[in-house]
Structure 1
Amino acid sequence: MAEPTERDPLIQKPTVFTDADSASRGEPATKQRLGPLEISASNRRGILAGIWLGTFLGVLTLVPTMMPSISSEFQKFHLASWLGTAYLLATCTFTPLYGRLSNVMGRRGANHTAIAFTAIGTVMCGLSRNMESLIAARFIAGIGGGGLFTTATIIVSDMYTLRNRGLVHGVASCFNGLGMGLGGPFGGLITDLLGWRAAFLLQIPLFVFALILIQYNIRYVTPGKSKGTMEMLKRIDYLGSLTLLVALGSPLFFLSARYNESLPWSEARVITPLILAIVFILGFLGVELFLAKEPVLAPGMLQQKVPVLVGASNFLVGACNFSVTYFYPMWFQVVMLQSASTAGMHLMPNSVSMSIGSLFAGWMMHSTGRYKRINLIFGIFPFIGTTLISRLREDSGPIHSWLSIIPLGFGNAVALHTMLIALLAHLPESHMAVGTGFAQLFRGIGQVLGVAISSAIFQSRLDAELRKRFHVPDAENLIRQIRRNSNYIRELPSEQQAYARDSYALALKTVYIFAACLTISAYLVRLPIPDQDLDKAHARQRAQAEARRNSTAEVATTNAVASTSTGSGLPTPEYPARSPTETETEPEEPAA
């Protein structure tokens, strides 16, 4: 930079930076870029197309209808639940980090990271040659899967006011619902026609297209301080993420070994994960409370009523949703002996109802500026849906078989949607990214434990029912074959086939009853959450943000005056003062 001359002003104007990279180098902006509320409608549509395509791919639920085919090829049906659990475990562990990464890397960089991990994991799934490598690939895909939803939520919150976010998030949830609903039929159809590997590999062009849309369109700036990337990366809670991963993974290994594989309590594979779970849960809490500068858990939110209740509701709703999603198609594929594609189609009403529920909730919040009443009315629907599902029989008619899942999807969509807005309305604007990660953390934990616990319940009940019915020679081997390979049922003699189908039916009903208990608990947890006027909440947030920016600007101006008035009174800084107003990274947020 040129040396100052006598003609230079004594107090230099702060320079506006357009991105985190130029800010970290001390380079001035070549032009001022627009904020998220000022971008054009076409630019906004391009951003939404990219992030919603990413979330669609991230939640594309292929595995439930593909599990029988995959596990039969590898002869490891007892490990099939890990295909879902590994993905959800990674999602739960790494999702909260994307709130921080959105501040560190910018919105575009964080979203690119999520897309890259999801795409790489998906390719590895299609190329896997054994169950273990497939489970590992699902874990890698899960590292990015949760980040797609979190970064999309943050980006939408950037571009819309609090009242309008409800409607836009409702449209976004349609893509989530489509991903969950179309995944089953798509996975089943492609599995029947081309094999399960093709169902993974055919997604890759869509990932590339989403990446291009995000790269081209996300160029807005957000308010905040210009901080060096390395400085902020050092503040990410890596130790907290690691302890959380082990704390959640250990119970999964315990449940799998004890109930899926029926190992005795004396086995090291049973008792060791249980001990590790206790140790690392305590370790995670210690790291979050005393060591982490920017905790994954955001312990401060645990001291506030609304975040705690929203987190508890998200946990229970996530557990209910995935308990049903992973075990609902199995009823039709194993008990009813339908094809994988037909079984997957039974998830379609859930997808449609989730999309309608999200749009309805968003429209109602946009119209009324409130969220509590619709939650009270429609939040009970999931309990009705799971109760209807638990009453399925082999001779149930098409109305019961196809439509009983609709109240579940509609009600849970309303609950999740209204709870996100309730949380964002409660928190200051500067905590938006951390709050989104906080809500997703508890939803992710619910999804992980929901699949793991429901799988343990299912396998335990299935084993007990099979042992009641099979007393033939070599019954132990026969029971093992039925549990590990659901397609083996089709090869059994008619009487034994009936016994096996009845056992599966009773085991699945137990899972559905478990889901019903979860969803009524979620409804009761949400009752104490207070209502708010969304317009007033948004005005309060903007006023708080403006006051904080003004305070920061005053400090920056004072520092600039001080730095240029030292020594002989001549300007001496090597670089101009930085502006606290326009960068692609948000301000360093306090540990919420």
Structure 2
Amino acid sequence: MSSERDPLLTIAPRHGANTDESEDEGKLGPLEISHSSRWAILAGIWIATFLGSVNTTLVTTLMPSISSEFNKSHQVSWLGTAYLLAICTFTPIYGRLCHVMGRRAAHQSAVLFGALGTLACGLSPSMNLLIVARFVSGIGGGGILTTSTIITSDMFILRSRGLAQSIGSVFMALGIGIGGPLAGFISDAYGWRAAFLINMPLFFISFILTGYNLSYVTPGKGKTPGEVLRRIDYGGMITTLVWVFATLLFLSYRYNERLPWDDSRVISTLGVTILFFLLFIIVELKFAIEPVLAPFLLKQKIPALIGVSNFLVSFCNFSVMYFFPVWFQTVMLTSAFIAGLHVLPSSTAMAIGFLFAGWSMHKTGKYKFINLTFGILPSMAAVLIVTMNEDSSPARLWLSIIPFGFGNGVVLQTMHIALLAHIPQSAMAVGTGFGQLFRSVGQVGGVAVSSAVFQSVLDSELRNRIRGPDANEIIKRIRESTGVVVSLPPDLQRAARDSYDGALRAVFIMAMCSTLMAYIVRLPIPDRSLDEPEPADPPQQPAQADVGNIVNSVVTSPLDTPFDSDDDHRKKRTHMLGTRHRKPDLTQPRSLSGYEPVDGSMDLEEDTIEGTAQSRA
């Protein structure tokens, strides 16, 4: 009788009875599929990536309309927070789901959650149900990004992987950049519900494209649905949800509502945060069968440094992205639409940064030089943003944020490839989820902490400038709605604009410190040639019969790109290997992602590399 600690992967002969191997007969691996199938898969996952990114920011311009319809202005901020909270909680789960369910099932589950959540948003009859729908949509949004990254990594060798993934990252950056302005335009023309519902046809197209074409062989699928469900890290997922949610409540009570430290709500939420964070660590290290935190990666220097960098970069990104438009609305008194457009240069530059990093890594086979060269740009841009004022030239107001987006695009792309270059191919799916976990926590932290800093400093600035019998009421109105500023009398308006300027400057200084710390953290990360074979398991000599498979999976061709035709692909492999293109031998033992023999790869179920938190009897 099998137990939860039994490995899900079994090595069986090609024609063994009642095995998953027999089902794979005649199917191709991710490096063997046709050019048309590869492009169809990429189109499907890129459409989903765009939709997930659009949903991250589209509510920023819909909040006034939504709060006006439901008369729940005090809850409207949870529309963004609920989405990010779901991403933070469920993103790392999808790395494990790709391992136990297979790529297609995991990706389509994410698309389905995203579509259902978005549909529910457009049909929600109340603010509470809308917040729940945003959370469901976030479950899919985080999974789409993780599974899309894993699928792209499957289909390309390491050197070409950065170029392929950089194109997908362009869709992510454009989605973040145009989500707000596009939603505002649709809302003005057709109402805020249409901004959600218009996404549904694209979700359907993505689901069909991946459902029909994403059928290549990826070993590691669970034996039964029950075994799959038992291996999900429910403890890690629940404790993450509770401690992050409690942290958001603590920051809101203490800094947004300005409750004293001895208030019961402040004390209780802080206590819950600490308790469940400690429980999360204990669950991940001691009890989880398939821990979302991947302790064996956390114990390695390079993955840990990359994780910290991902956190700090995402923290900085979302701090600026959410509050940069507010500066133009409250200090420059522009419309919400124009304020939202000021983020677009950064998103466009980020998309270019992703492409540049992918192209450069593909051409040079290196990542550290461009990371350190262009990774300092966000810090320089943050200085320009911090020193902006009402007298700054239009060119500076529009262009200062461009180096910020470009530099962060380069950093995120190169650090993802650096992570994959320093972990075994068999750990690629879990490693991707590991990296995305730090990014998603950074996103939530960037919004929550910057909001707390902003509200705290704004309250102090307003109280220093506005006095009198009605001061408390006026300050409350100014803090609760940025739209009030433009309608205030000249003297109060001047005080409000200067107060907002001081509070937002504090947020931008924090973002500047975050991106500078991220740069320092990345300095010890070594370079690694992307032409080298990816790291394998502890030094064991592979059997002679397995050498062909190792060469076939690792040395496919350093020149393969997403744009090669099937004939180009075959010619390059024939030139590199001195033999004709052939399918992989499925009779050989395989790793989780690819066709490496067990002797030359890392199995996540092995006790020796701590792929699980518990050891098997």
Match of 1:229 among 203, 225, 230: 225
User: Could you say what secondary structure the match of 1:62 adopts?
Assistant: helix
In 1, Cα distance between equivalents of 2:264 and 2:542? 58
Match of 1:323 in 2: 319
Match of 1:557 in 2: none
Match of 2:15 in 1: 15
Match of 1:438 in 2: 434
Superposition deviation, residue 582 in structure 1 = 7.6
Q: Any idea what the Cα deviations from partners look like across 1:424-449, whole Å, max 9, x if unmatched?
A: 01001110011001101111111111
In 2, Cα distance between equivalents of 1:283 and 1:416? 30
Match of 2:37 in 1: 43
Match of 2:503 in 1: 507
In 1, Cα distance between equivalents of 2:59 and 2:118? 12
Change (3 A) 1:581 1:462: same
In 2, Cα distance between equivalents of 1:434 and 1:127? 35
Match of 2:340 in 1: 344
Contact in 2 for aligned 1:95/1:441 (Cα 8 Å): yes
Change (3 A) 1:134 1:468: farther
In 1, Cα distance between equivalents of 2:408 and 2:340? 20
Q: Any idea what the Cα deviations from partners look like across 1:408-461, whole Å, max 9, x if unmatched?
A: 111111111111111101001110011001101111111111110000011111
Bigger Cα Rg? 1
Superposition deviation, residue 544 in structure 1 = 8.4
Match of 1:569 in 2: none
Contact in 1 for aligned 2:117/2:136 (Cα 8 Å): yes
1:271 aligns with 2:267: yes
Contact in 1 for aligned 2:458/2:500 (Cα 8 Å): yes
Superposition deviation, residue 279 in structure 1 = 0.6
Contact in 1 for aligned 2:422/2:535 (Cα 8 Å): no
In 2, Cα distance between equivalents of 1:59 and 1:344? 15
Match of 1:111 in 2: 107
Match of 1:158 in 2: 154
Superposition deviation, residue 542 in structure 1 = 14
1:333 aligns with 2:329: yes
Superposition deviation, residue 225 in structure 1 = 6.8
Contact in 2 for aligned 1:120/1:140 (Cα 8 Å): yes
Contact in 2 for aligned 1:430/1:545 (Cα 8 Å): no
Match of 2:27 among 30, 33, 44: 33
Question: Residues 434-583 of structure 1 correspond to what in structure 2 (within 5 A)?
Answer: 434-538=430-534
In 1, Cα distance between equivalents of 2:366 and 2:165? 15
User: Could you say what secondary structure the match of 1:222 adopts?
Assistant: coil
In 2, Cα distance between equivalents of 1:309 and 1:287? 22
Q: Any idea what the Cα deviations from partners look like across 1:338-385, whole Å, max 9, x if unmatched?
A: 222222211111111011101111111101101101111000001111
User: Could you say what secondary structure the match of 2:112 adopts?
Assistant: helix
- Higher mean C-alpha displacement, 298-307 vs 132-141: 132-141
- Higher mean C-alpha displacement, 490-499 vs 458-467: 490-499
Q: Which amino acid aligns with 2:481?
A: N
Match of 2:379 in 1: 383
User: Could you say what secondary structure the match of 1:537 adopts?
Assistant: coil
Match of 1:410 among 406, 411, 433: 406
Superposition deviation, residue 112 in structure 1 = 0.9
Question: Residues 172-211 of structure 1 correspond to what in structure 2 (within 5 A)?
Answer: 172-211=168-207
Change (3 A) 1:143 1:400: same
Change (3 A) 1:30 1:524: closer
1:300 aligns with 2:296: yes
Contact in 2 for aligned 1:225/1:582 (Cα 8 Å): no
Superposition deviation, residue 249 in structure 1 = 1.3
Identity of aligned residues (%): 56
Change (3 A) 1:64 1:386: farther
Match of 2:241 in 1: 245
Number of aligned residues: 550
In 2, Cα distance between equivalents of 1:583 and 1:80? 47
Q: Which amino acid aligns with 1:15?
A: H
- Higher mean C-alpha displacement, 442-451 vs 341-350: 341-350
Contact in 2 for aligned 1:188/1:344 (Cα 8 Å): no
- Higher mean C-alpha displacement, 245-254 vs 129-138: 129-138
Match of 2:84 among 88, 94, 100: 88
Superposition deviation, residue 133 in structure 1 = 3.2
In 2, Cα distance between equivalents of 1:196 and 1:549? 62
Match of 1:564 in 2: none
1:58 aligns with 2:52: yes
In 1, Cα distance between equivalents of 2:175 and 2:202? 13
In 2, Cα distance between equivalents of 1:105 and 1:201? 29
In 2, Cα distance between equivalents of 1:221 and 1:582? 11
1:353 aligns with 2:349: yes
Contact in 2 for aligned 1:104/1:585 (Cα 8 Å): no
Match of 1:9 in 2: none
Change (3 A) 1:582 1:423: closer
Contact in 2 for aligned 1:250/1:273 (Cα 8 Å): yes
In 2, Cα distance between equivalents of 1:228 and 1:546? 31
TM-score (structure 2 length as normaliser)? 0.84
Contact in 2 for aligned 1:379/1:414 (Cα 8 Å): yes
Superposition deviation, residue 91 in structure 1 = 0.6
Q: Which amino acid aligns with 1:38?
A: E
Match of 1:213 among 191, 196, 209: 209
Contact in 1 for aligned 2:89/2:240 (Cα 8 Å): yes
Contact in 1 for aligned 2:99/2:221 (Cα 8 Å): no
1:143 aligns with 2:139: yes
Contact in 2 for aligned 1:357/1:413 (Cα 8 Å): yes
In 2, Cα distance between equivalents of 1:173 and 1:542? 33
Contact in 2 for aligned 1:429/1:541 (Cα 8 Å): no
Contact in 2 for aligned 1:389/1:404 (Cα 8 Å): yes
Contact in 2 for aligned 1:315/1:443 (Cα 8 Å): yes
Contact in 2 for aligned 1:68/1:487 (Cα 8 Å): no
User: Could you say what secondary structure the match of 1:473 adopts?
Assistant: coil
Q: CA RMSD in A?
A: 2.7
Q: Which amino acid aligns with 2:287?
A: L
- Higher mean C-alpha displacement, 512-521 vs 337-346: 337-346
Match of 1:573 in 2: none
Q: Which amino acid aligns with 1:51?
A: I
Change (3 A) 1:548 1:118: farther
Match of 1:368 in 2: 364
In 2, Cα distance between equivalents of 1:224 and 1:211? 22
Q: Which has the higher contact order (CA 8 A, sep 6+)?
A: 1
Change (3 A) 1:545 1:483: farther
Q: Which amino acid aligns with 1:414?
A: V
Change (3 A) 1:51 1:478: same
Superposition deviation, residue 407 in structure 1 = 0.7
Contact in 1 for aligned 2:425/2:536 (Cα 8 Å): no
Match of 2:3 in 1: none
Q: Which amino acid aligns with 1:195?
A: G
Contact in 2 for aligned 1:58/1:145 (Cα 8 Å): yes
In 2, Cα distance between equivalents of 1:403 and 1:226? 50
Q: Any idea what the Cα deviations from partners look like across 1:289-344, whole Å, max 9, x if unmatched?
A: 11111111111112111011000000000100000111111122233222222222
In 2, Cα distance between equivalents of 1:30 and 1:349? 47
Superposition deviation, residue 199 in structure 1 = 1.4
Match of 2:552 in 1: none
In 2, Cα distance between equivalents of 1:171 and 1:271? 46
In 2, Cα distance between equivalents of 1:358 and 1:501? 36
In 2, Cα distance between equivalents of 1:350 and 1:525? 23
- Higher mean C-alpha displacement, 502-511 vs 533-542: 533-542
Superposition deviation, residue 541 in structure 1 = 8.4
Contact in 1 for aligned 2:101/2:228 (Cα 8 Å): no
In 1, Cα distance between equivalents of 2:298 and 2:409? 24
